[in-house]
Amino acid sequence: MSYQDAREAFAAWGVDTELALTALAQIPISVHCWQGDDVRGFEKQQGTSGGGIQATGNHPGRARTPDELRADLEFAYSMIPGKHRLNLHAFYLDTQETPDRDEIEFRHFAPWVEWAGETGIKLDFNPTFFAHEKADDNLTLAHPDAGIRDFWIEHGKRCREIAAKMGAAQGGEVVNNIWVPDGSKDNPVDRMGARRRLEASLDAMFAPAHDRAHLLDAVESKLFGIGVEAMTVGSHEFYLGYAIRNNTALCLDMGHFHPTENVADKLSAVALSVQDILLHVSRPMRWDSDHVILLDDSIRAMAQELVFGGLLQRTRIGLDFFDATISRTAAWVIGVRNMQKALLEALLAPQERLKQAETARDYTTRLVLTEELKDLPYAAIWAEFCARQDRPTGALLVDSLARYQASVTDRG
């Protein structure tokens, strides 16, 4: 179907496709660097992946150096319409030096900052509280040993400083998201002690003030991980309270709740108490398995809540998945484009009409509408969005992804 025909089909429902296309072009997605190398990072001394997160698979083409990762990212962005961001983890530093986590500085990320300036791809940041000998027992900020807590507090402080400097360099806000793996494999007897230690460590880490225009602190909760099945210290309730008390952003990772929970439903609930929200859009399969996101009901529901709830302005959309069984660059492209497609569908919905039916308690009309809307020609609008930004769709996309993958398969 042509764009013009599709545009008329939506106009018949009172929807202006041009407005939707303009809105979609303004939604940045923070692409997670760690899909490119299976969450290994570029420190000279490598630890285990740790923290209950693990990429599985051995597809050829893993980025082994910062240059390879940047090349892969540039290719991925060239397949994705719109202007997006890069979410960098601290252990992706790019330097010949070997600073420990409590010694990293802004200069260790200079090549990334330079690249961001050249490409216009702005950075977000994350401290790395895993893959390190001082995190081997899945305790960092909540560790009973004050020396280990201090080590990680220093890491967190330095990351906040680095992120704030990145923000100053790129002229805007950098999200610095904190996730710690801390928890307990078996039933603990002093949950309160662990949570008090985590709270005190976070307080110490957040004590230095930074310009809010350059730094947005976020905290990420989790239900459980491999090796911390009995308790995660930084649970949802813990961080929801912490974010409210301390005015930080709250990060909701779609893989960090019970598999039957509807994470989209949480957006409007937490938005009443928390100003800024960060999403880690992911696809858990039976557990926090971090599969590449599909254009499925969970993603559609998330996008609809963002749009219908008027939450786009105060939500930063980041992705979090890593699959080493398929082309890593294709994984990025598929995942980001699926998030965009879900947002486009939500932007193309006759929102007021749907809400009117619900307010009038006319649930029959609401149901007829939601089901009939599924037949609208979204693909033609998406194809137009890609065409206007010179991005491929369909067979052309498949060919481009395959060609790039073939060019990196001989990496050792």
Ligand X SMILES: C[C@H](O)[C@H](O)[C@@H](O)C(=O)CO
Residues comprising the binding site for Mn(2+)? 256, 288, 290
Residue among 78, 20, 9, 74 at smallest CA distance from 377 = 9
Residue 16 is a catalytic residue = no
Residue 253 is a catalytic residue = yes
Whether residue 223 contacts residue 256, with contact meaning beta carbons closer than 8 Å, is answered with yes
Among 253, 276, 305, 384, binds ligand X (CB under 6 A): 253
Residue among 76, 108, 246, 84 at smallest CA distance from 178 = 246
Q: Which of the choices ligand X, Mn ion, none does residue 126 contact, using the CB cut-off of 5 to 8 A by kind?
A: ligand X
Active-site hit among 43, 280, 332, 382: 280
Residue 265 is a catalytic residue = no
Whether residue 111 contacts residue 69, with contact meaning beta carbons closer than 8 Å, is answered with no
If binding is defined by CB under 6 A, does position 280 make contact with ligand X?
yes
If binding is defined by CB under 6 A, does position 34 make contact with ligand X?
yes
Residues within window 65-104 making contact with ligand X, judged by CB under 6 A: 89
Taking each continuous run of H as one helix and of E as one strand, the counts in the chain are 14, 12
If binding is defined by CB under 5 A, does position 290 make contact with Mn ion?
no
Distances (CA, A) of 56 to 149, 187, 296, 325, 362: 30, 28, 22, 7, 48
Among 195, 214, 222, 337, binds ligand X (CB under 6 A): 222
If binding is defined by CB under 5 A, does position 253 make contact with Mn ion?
yes
Backbone φ and ψ of 89, nearest 5°: -95, 150
Residue 179 is a catalytic residue = yes
Residue 399 is a catalytic residue = no
Active-site hit among 276, 320, 323, 345: 320
Q: Which is nearer to ligand X, 283 or 391 (CB)?
A: 283
Report in angstroms how near the CB of residue 89 gets to ligand X at its nearest. 6
> Which alpha helices (H) appear in 91-235, and where do they start and end?
110-119, 146-170, 191-206
Structure tokens at 65: 């150096």
Residue among 156, 139, 142, 181 at smallest CA distance from 102 = 156
Stretch that binds Mn ion, among 14-22, 198-206, 257-265, 312-320 (CB under 5 A): 312-320
Among 276, 288, 323, 384, binds ligand X (CB under 6 A): 288
Report in angstroms how near the CB of residue 251 gets to ligand X at its nearest. 7
Residue 211 is a catalytic residue = no
> In sequence order, what are the beta bridge partners of 86?
31, 123
Tokens 């285990």 belong to residue: 48
Q: Which of the choices ligand X, Mn ion, none does residue 37 contact, using the CB cut-off of 5 to 8 A by kind?
A: none
**CA–CA dist 248, 270 (Å, integer):** 12
Binding residues: 256, 288, 290
CB atoms within 10 A of CB 329: 25
If binding is defined by CB under 6 A, does position 320 make contact with ligand X?
yes
Q: Which of the choices Mn ion, ligand X, none does residue 345 contact, using the CB cut-off of 5 to 8 A by kind?
A: none
Stretch that binds Mn ion, among 98-106, 130-138, 235-243, 245-253 (CB under 5 A): 245-253
If binding is defined by CB under 5 A, does position 43 make contact with Mn ion?
no
Residue among 294, 224, 292 at smallest CA distance from 57 = 292
Q: Which is nearer to Mn ion, 10 or 321 (CB)?
A: 321
# chain residues binding ligand X, by CB under 6 A: 12
> In sequence order, what are the beta bridge partners of 317?
29, 279
Whether residue 208 contacts residue 157, with contact meaning beta carbons closer than 8 Å, is answered with yes
Report in angstroms how near the CB of residue 126 gets to Mn ion at its nearest. 9
If binding is defined by CB under 6 A, does position 39 make contact with ligand X?
yes
Q: Site residues (CB under 5 A) for Mn ion?
A: 253, 280, 320
Residues contributing to the site for ligand X (CB under 6 A): 34, 39, 53, 89, 126, 179, 220, 222, 253, 280, 288, 320
